[in-house]
Chains A and B, each alone.
Chain A
Amino acid sequence: MDRRTTTGTMNDADLAQVLSQVRAGDSDAWGELYRQYAPAIFRFCRRLLPAREDAEDATTEIFMKVRQKLGTYDSSRPFTAWLYKVASNHCWDTLRRRRIRQDLETGDLDTLPLEHPDPSQLERLQAEHTSKEVRTGLARLPDRARMALVLRYYADMSYEEIADTLGVRRAFVGVLLLRARHQLRDALSESGGASALKASAGGTP
């Protein structure tokens, strides 16, 4: 399921017409566009930013940017992809400005050993935790890890788009995603009291 194609209920023709009216300065069309996409963008921000108020502010600010930048949007590309790009850039800028990220540096990540999980333990972890618990665990991750997971598995961004947003090499995105998955497994294991996911010695496929 591509989230970006399921955001909003307008079909392509309607969307094209609304965008054209917004460009012409039609306030009603702008209202329609906002109502269609603001809830999804709010949820997206909610998964990236620490507080509900931050997500509310960010949603408002993202749409202000969208209105300003609509002239730069290439209509041959999907609108939602462009919208999520604007939103992810804004959220990443917000997080970066706060300078309270706990990410490890790229070099450290490159050399981090990633032990293989035990498939059965992974399945148990998935069975034991609700969606809410997953999002709570996600909130405890370093900003970049959380960004990577949300951009990929919520906003369905490509590796190129993720690399562009986070300012990393494309080849590094896979490492970032795998590392983020490991961190999330660890966070959920710690909170849920589940047994360690790491395979015991020699237990790798």
Chain B
Amino acid sequence: MNHSDGHFDEMTGLLYLEGQLDPGRASEVSAHLGSCVPCREIVHALETEGVWLREALAAEDESIPARVIAAPERGTAHWGWIAAFALGTGGAYTLWSSFVEPWLTQASQAGFTQGNLLTMLFFTGAFWKGWDAMRSLTEFMAVATLGTLVIWLLRKQWQRFTAIAFVMGALVGALALPQPVAAADVQHGNPGYTLPAGQEVKTDLIVAAERTRIDGDVDGDLIVFSDSLIVNGHVKGDILAFGAEVRVNGPVDGNVRVWCQSFALDSAVARNAMAWTGASDFNEKSRVGGTLTLFSGATELDGKIGGDLLAYAGDLSIGGSLGHDAAIRGGKLNVGPNAEIAGQTKYKGDHEPEVSPGAKLGSPIQFTLVKRGTDYTRGRYYWHQILYWGAGFLLGLVMLLVMPGFFFDVAQACKRVGPAVGFGALFLFATPIAAIIVCATIVGLSVGLPVLLFYGIAVYAAKIFVGAWLGEQLLGPGVGVGPALGRLALGLAILRGIRMLPYAGPLAGLIIAMWGFGALVLVLHRRISAPPAGGSLSAA
């Protein structure tokens, strides 16, 4: 016996009850129990405790979730993949035939003679900074791929690692960003920056200032981030400018690319020019040796363009000369009495072009009237709707297979319509504002940008969750992945139909986005704040 008073201990009693003692020891205990009441009582208590435990553990007072009830049959998802593949192929073809090919054709007809526009923009323009930059891009892609792989591997720990993964991923992203150009003169205005006349910068010049004035010469590229930029000097490379107001009065040997509110050119640009502006003015003295690409509101084009014109302009007025063809899309086109267009002019717009009798045109303007609003009579419209549906379904399919638990949770959270829409409305608007504010700091940038990226994905995915929930409401609880896909397909089709309604459609789309986004927020909150192991089993 283990105890000094002749009784055995609780451990021995338990092992005896569970048949874990060797036969000799068991007989000894059995004999003792026949004559010792206290030991018999304790063994009896342990025995009833064992029965009690078994009964408590076996009690079934919790329902089995729908997704656990039926088999996740592999074959049932095949039709989903086939549909997704077919839609993907159709979508790619439509994207190419509807957008890319006409654009390239248009660009080609507009005289972009260097193969294609991307080549022109990136390899001969101000964007192309040599193979070093390309190597950085390759490295970035490699890091991004690696990051995606790591997230995939850690997906099961998602709820525990969310914050860490987020920050680490952001830091990796930030570190992978290309390093600043070393061989350049970098100037920070305080608040303004002026390069005086007579001075010459012998390398690239990068300026960030409130107001920038370049009276001297730049023997390289000029890159400026400034509210106001005036260039009076000679720039021997390209000009790349971001600001509110940009005026170029001095000669430029390279290209000019500007993103600004208003742009004025009063000098000669030896190569190409591209402007994304609210308003632009190419006055009589302006010259562009190559092509001019415009994405502009109101535009006055009174100078001389040696190459072609490709313009997306709200209101374009041509008073100068064009050496080759013009492809124009916009609201209004006015061709003045002094205008000369040597090649063909194609114009797509809302109004007939106004052409002065004095204008000299190589050929009559080919005009296509653009109809505004949804044209429900066109088959292409419905095909596009099917593609939009397919894109949502494809993303839903991937989410369902990659993170089924999370997907079902969010879809289920959609049934709490009030809180979901409420939180969705709040976070839908607050998240981008908060992210942009966070982006204002260098450290915050590494968090803010991924937040914006995830925000975009989440807003797009919102309708998928609502669709999955809606499908389940209509067809009953899903069982397994295959039926869940069917419900998702039906729900998304109904939502797409609602979205197609005139007038009410866009509003419904916004509410659906808030609804699904809110459900996502609710589940994320629940998962992140879930108690660690040891929490109540009966909580759910």
Docked CA distance A202–B325 (Å): 108
Please tell me if the beta carbons of B532 and A50 are within 8 angstroms of each other in the complex: yes
A119 to B538, CA, bound (A): 28
A131 adjacent to B56 (CB under 8 Å) = yes
Number of A-B contacts (CB under 8 A): 173
Interface string of B63-83 (1 = CB under 8 A from A): 011011111111100000000
Measured CB to CB, the closest approach of chain A to B142, in angstroms, equals: 28
Residue in B11, B49, B408 with the greatest tally of chain A CB atoms within 10 Å? B49
Q: Is B157 an interface residue (CB 8 A)?
A: yes
Where chain A touches its partner, the secondary structure class is helix
In the complex, what distance in Å separates the CA atom of A50 from the CA atom of B75? Answer: 32
Stretch binding the partner chain, chosen from A8-16, A72-80, A81-89, A132-140? A132-140
- Give the docked Cα–Cα distance between A43 and B52 (Å): 18
Q: Once the chains are docked, how many angstroms separate the CA of A65 from the CA of B49? A: 35
Interface assignment of B354: CB less than 8 Å from any CB of chain A: no
Q: Are B534 and A139 in contact (CB under 8 A)?
A: yes
| A98 interface contact, C-beta 8 A | yes
**Which applies to chain B's interface (DSSP): helix, strand, loop or mixed?**
helix
| Band of interface residues on A | 35 or more
Between A49, A153, A174, the greatest number of chain B beta carbons within 10 A of the residue's beta carbon is seen for A153
Q: Is B535's CB within 8 Å of the partner chain A?
A: yes
Chain A, Cβ-Cβ closest to B76 = A27
Is A169's CB within 8 Å of the partner chain B? no
Answer whether A136 and B54 are a contact pair too, CB < 8 Å, given A39-B69, A97-B157, A177-B14. Answer: no
Task: Select A132's contact among B160, B538, B540, beta carbons within 8 Å.
Answer: B538
Nearest B residue (CB) for A34: B71
Residue pair A135, B538 in contact (C-beta under 8 Å):
yes
- The winner among A97, A123, A130, A141 for most chain B CB atoms within 10 A is A123
Interface residue tally of chain B, by bracket? 35 or more
Please measure, in the bound complex, the distance between the C-alpha atom of A146 and the C-alpha atom of B10, giving whole angstroms.
20
Contact of B160 among A27, A95, A98 (CB under 8 A): A98
A104 in the interface (beta carbon within 8 A): no
Cα(A150)–Cα(B54), bound, Å: 9
Taking CB atoms, residues of chain B closer than 8 Å to A168 are none
Q: Of residues 40 to 92 in B, which have CB atoms within 8 Å of A's CB atoms? A: 41-42, 44-45, 48-50, 52-62, 64-65, 67-75
B532 touching A100, Cβ below 8 Å: yes
Determine if B535 and A51 form an interchain contact, defined as CB atoms under 8 angstroms apart: yes
Q: Is the CB of B10 within 8 A of A114?
A: yes
B453 within 8 A of A: no
Sample of 8 more A-B contacts, CB < 8 Å, known A123-B48, A178-B10: A39-B68, A42-B65, A46-B62, A60-B405, A95-B533, A132-B538, A135-B59, A159-B18
Chain B residues engaging chain A, CB cutoff 8 angstroms? 3, 7, 9-11, 14-15, 18, 20, 36, 38-39, 41-42, 44-45, 48-50, 52-62, 64-65, 67-75, 156-157, 160, 404-405, 408-409, 527, 530-540
A-B CB proximity, top 10 nearest: A205-B38, A52-B540, A31-B71, A34-B71, A134-B56, A131-B59, A119-B45, A139-B537, A131-B56, A154-B57
